[in-house]
Structure 1
Amino acid sequence: MTERLSAQIAFLKRADMLKMVERANVLLNQSRPENSAEHSWHLALWALVMAPLAGPDVSIDRVIRMLLLHDLVEIVVGDHPIHLETDWDHLAEAEQAAASELFGLLPRDQAQTFLSLWQEFESDQTPDAQFAKILDRCQPLFQVLCASDPHPDHVKIARANLDGGRAAYLSQVFPLAYHHATALLAGSPTEENAFSTRIAFLAEADKLKSVVRASRLMAGDRFENSAEHSWHIMLYAWVLAEHAQSEINVDRVLQMLLLHDIVEIDAGDHPIYGQVNHAEQEAMEQAAAQRLFGLLPDMQQAHFTDMWLEFEAAKSTDARFAKAVDRFQTPIANLENGGGSWADYNVTLAQLKARVEPSITAGAPELWNWLHPQLAAFFQSFEATPLDA
């Protein structure tokens, strides 16, 4: 089991590099380019929010999994904007090789499952893949069109994409999105419908990409944001689900983790080693959940709020595993980047165990059994030289 878990962790470490792949799109606030990890998180959120608009033969759970994986190959081949001249056949071959390499880090059974799902998305033949592709066409469009002051070149690309590019087919397969996009481009009043009533929430969710956490990327060159963190721990939960203490519904866990940090848009990130007034923090997060989920239609508002509250309470087996993964990911990164947030907050091994061990062992004790010896060895190496020296 140790060898299998180590292989799974090796894959998850490599996946961290997706956070450094810049896309042609920029954030809604125009502050910087979007990266492919936070884009993948946002697309998974699009899938969950737009689920009522999917066909009856579409499994949203499978769509979410596809979207978590779909851009991983960009770790190797990079992002290729649709408006630039590209040898698409050559790129497809390079992406296939990259997929085989990356998923090949996993144990054989998982490698085949992940590769097959990625190939299904690329082939765009099944109802699940087709809906995932539709969302992948929509999100960049509306990231431009919902901005208060989008770059003129980006508007030009969006217009061309709708008029005769990859997104033109939305007029046939997702007309609600197509007509809303064309109305925004024309500056015309937009008719409220099942699509448009969900866009405000998805646009607001873009702000999670600007919430900076105390943890750093494994490369250590910058702090992680809460959107890419959410994507990464969803991947952690999927890959490591077999190590859960009790039987879990993996797709419910993924939905919890997809939503769990949304409240940080209003309430901010609060490092577990920082000085926090917990009552005040809880009140802020409750208010944030009410405002943000309140942007959605009533049924989704209630469902999303319930999922978020379940995660926070950590009473169900699904929530306990989700919490375990949320506590497990940052120590893996800190071990790779020389201490990370432990150095910033002068954390001792005893403090780390007190804050992290209970949550991990409650949901996935095998993960703690794997992690603890590495933590002990890391902190022992700093007995003579403090982490902040």
Structure 2
Amino acid sequence: MTQAAHHLDAQFAFLNEADRLKSVLRANFLLDDARAENSAEHSWHVALWALVFADTAPAGTDISRAISMLLLHDLVEIDAGDHPIHLPNSGQALAEEKAAKRLFGLLPQGAFEALHPLWLEFEAGKTATARFAKAVDHTQPLFQVLFSANPRADHIEIVRQNLASGRASDLATRWPDAHAAATVMLAGEPLPPSAFRQCLTFLAEADALKSVNRATTLCDASRRENSAEHSWHIALYALILADQASSDVDLPRVIQMLLLHDLVEIDVGDVPLHSANGAAHSASNILAAEAEAAIRIFGLLPNDLGKDLHVMWQEFEANLTPSAQFAKSLDRVQPVMQNIQCGGGSWVEYKVTFDQLESRVGQKVANGAPRLWPYVRNRCLKFFE
């Protein structure tokens, strides 16, 4: 085995293990009260929060670093489990430290030294970047309850206590707009019109992505993956596989594209790559519906921010810039690696041949990450043989 292949083996061992975060349930429920939220889709949602509220961050905040922290921050729950804010946490910190060493220890040499300190920085919460990331992580669950159409009485009480004396109580100084909005909504009053309210409305709408199911299953084949946790996972792919990007790729922009890229599925739904013999994904009616969905969804945001994020989504779709091409490559690679782990997954369901995989996936991956496709191709061959 070459050194490059060994390096990629370690990277994918970490990424496949990260898939388990999609099965860690939290105390929060989705806005439609259909089920408990899991920690992977929560991690996607708070990373999206950080992107949307970037202009409100305090001086000295590195937004790209904050987003990376939020992509990583809950991985330790794979071993330690979620810790609801209203319950005692005896021993939780030690369990999470042990989990961090194990999980980041799966990475190749050099990556552990880069990412483990990022998680430690978030946990310590002392830098401006970590404080902003913490504020986002502490705020999103409040509005997950307050924007619910039918919030549970015990969840409302947890929000009330959290704002009064819990970890969100100091939002009055850390993030006054968030604290004020939560207080108004907790009192049952409507939020006055503002850019902050528009951002909250967009982020509440984004919650619906957690209910869009994809053809791909989790690595353990226990259920189909949803588009929110998929978006988290491929943003994590970008962070871990950054060394596969060419020098002209803007990695923070890639991660931001991947956080946004599937939001249109809230209106259109997922279109499996291999459906309709591979033709559905590029059908003109689907592309038109997605473009219309993008106008509606990004139009919920304040004008300039909505335009900026819409442009980023369009760049991803056009697939012309090096950053978009690398992002597209990762969007194709992640389902391949999941299918390998679960015994074929959507390849079996759609009767995919190796030649079809090479034309529908391989060419796209090779276009944006040419050094990655030979490794992935060899892994796929074993299944099709």
- The two structures have a TM-score, normalised by structure 2, of 0.97
1:51 aligns with 2:73: no
Find the aligned partners of 1:240 and 1:189 in 2 and give their Cα distance.
Answer: 44
Within a 5 Å distance, the mapping from 1:1-389 to structure 2 comes to 1-87=4-90, 90-275=91-276, 276=280, 278-380=283-385
Q: What do residues 61-116 of structure 1 show as CA deviations (whole Å, max 9, x unaligned)?
A: 111000000000000100010112221xx211111111011001111211111100
- Cα RMSD between the aligned structures? 1.0
State whether residues 59 and 128 of structure 2, in contact with CA within 8 Å, keep that contact through their aligned partners in structure 1.
no
Find the aligned partners of 1:296 and 1:135 in 2 and give their Cα distance.
Answer: 18
Runs of 4+ aligned residues of structure 1 deviating over 6 Å after TM superposition are none
Q: Secondary structure at the match of 1:192?
A: coil
Q: What do residues 311-353 of structure 1 show as CA deviations (whole Å, max 9, x unaligned)?
A: 0011000000000010001110101101100111111111111
Find the aligned partners of 1:325 and 1:190 in 2 and give their Cα distance.
Answer: 39
Find the aligned partners of 1:324 and 1:11 in 2 and give their Cα distance.
Answer: 19
State whether residues 246 and 317 of structure 1, in contact with CA within 8 Å, keep that contact through their aligned partners in structure 2.
no
- Once the two structures are TM-superposed, the CA of residue 245 in structure 1 deviates from its matched residue by 4.4
State whether residues 215 and 341 of structure 1, in contact with CA within 8 Å, keep that contact through their aligned partners in structure 2.
yes
Q: What do residues 28-87 of structure 1 show as CA deviations (whole Å, max 9, x unaligned)?
A: 100000000000000000000001111221111111000000000000100010112221
Residue type of the partner of 1:336?
Q
Find the aligned partners of 2:186 and 2:336 in 1 and give their Cα distance.
Answer: 45
Q: Indicate the percent of aligned positions where both proteins have the same amino acid.
A: 51
Moved more, 290-299 or 268-277: 268-277
Find the aligned partners of 1:153 and 1:26 in 2 and give their Cα distance.
Answer: 12
Residue aligning to 1:383: none
- Once the two structures are TM-superposed, the CA of residue 190 in structure 1 deviates from its matched residue by 2.0
Find the aligned partners of 1:158 and 1:238 in 2 and give their Cα distance.
Answer: 33
- Count residues in correspondence: 378
Find the aligned partners of 1:246 and 1:343 in 2 and give their Cα distance.
Answer: 37
State whether residues 211 and 269 of structure 1, in contact with CA within 8 Å, keep that contact through their aligned partners in structure 2.
yes
Residue type of the partner of 1:260?
H
Q: Secondary structure at the match of 1:25?
A: strand
Extract unaligned runs of 5+ from structure 2: none
Find the aligned partners of 1:94 and 1:306 in 2 and give their Cα distance.
Answer: 42
- Once the two structures are TM-superposed, the CA of residue 246 in structure 1 deviates from its matched residue by 4.8
Q: What do residues 204-228 of structure 1 show as CA deviations (whole Å, max 9, x unaligned)?
A: 0000000000000000010000000
State whether residues 324 and 359 of structure 1, in contact with CA within 8 Å, keep that contact through their aligned partners in structure 2.
yes
Extract unaligned runs of 5+ from structure 1: 381-389
- Once the two structures are TM-superposed, the CA of residue 371 in structure 1 deviates from its matched residue by 1.1
- Once the two structures are TM-superposed, the CA of residue 193 in structure 1 deviates from its matched residue by 3.1
